[in-house]
Structure 1
């Protein structure tokens, strides 16, 4: 399936996989998963088509604009691995060619069980696909994000912490019962 111009919130011509159909009386009743997403969204038949759209014409090249962020001339920034030390700068292999800025999308996902994953898109290429992230790392990251984001993450982390504390209490009770039964056996 592909999205038509009538679809709201998605790019026209983007593809999707049909997941389910609901009753037409309930409004938007075709549930689809857009390509590259884990979300399931509902659309009406007018917003979807089975006809593959023609490829979009490539835009004419624009003159190179100065990037919004550019490391000092001849250097590129290498990311932090594990957060142990500050970024290192290394000489760029090609000083004459400037790289155009690329849109990067980082998505954090939390399950109701408190497990976190991260997904990264660089341009249109997925470079990291739902890799597990320790909740403690997410908590440390939340302190550096806007307060609204940090609060939302904090709520999820606190709920996960409460579930783990309850589980520890239950496991302690089971352990004590097993130890009593062992003592009774001599």
Structure 2
């Protein structure tokens, strides 16, 4: 009997799996006959989704293994395969009793005079057996496995009008750092190790911030001097 074809993952199935994984409940899937390197019907747990969602972007860990592998929606299903039925054992035929008479019949005795045995014919030479073909060793090479693709990392630096800097880190589908403050001096040093266009853009922001802070310092210095003169007149 032909095995029923399992349905691959639909868009609704993928959304459901993402929601379960985000809730901290790694969902279980099964491999279809289109999966490469694993047996159809075997189970696995979904551990991550790669971005963008193209090709083999679903990372799973097969049951009983420690490695994470990547597969496409066509190679996975949420439908649990039916358990395999074992073929019933065939009964062994009862051994016939040599020389036993048929049921219900009495044995018949034959009285005869034996004839002289003929002279045996000379034995014919036996043909030499054909050489056996060389045994072929079975192919024990393991099936090729798909290694999980590393998640992409995106680092974003953001500046404010006051010259303050923050950094965001996006690791695959998860944001691991959001708007963390970074010293302007550290940004300047890092920019000098990157292409000139990056250093030029960062330096322009830092220069504008220096000018604004310098003007503010001059303004505060003038206000301080005016306040000191007024204080001197009041105490003079």
Instruction: Give the TM-score normalised by structure 1.
Output: 0.48
Higher relative contact order (CA 8 A, sep 6+): 2
Which of the two has higher C-alpha Rg? 2
Higher strand share: 1
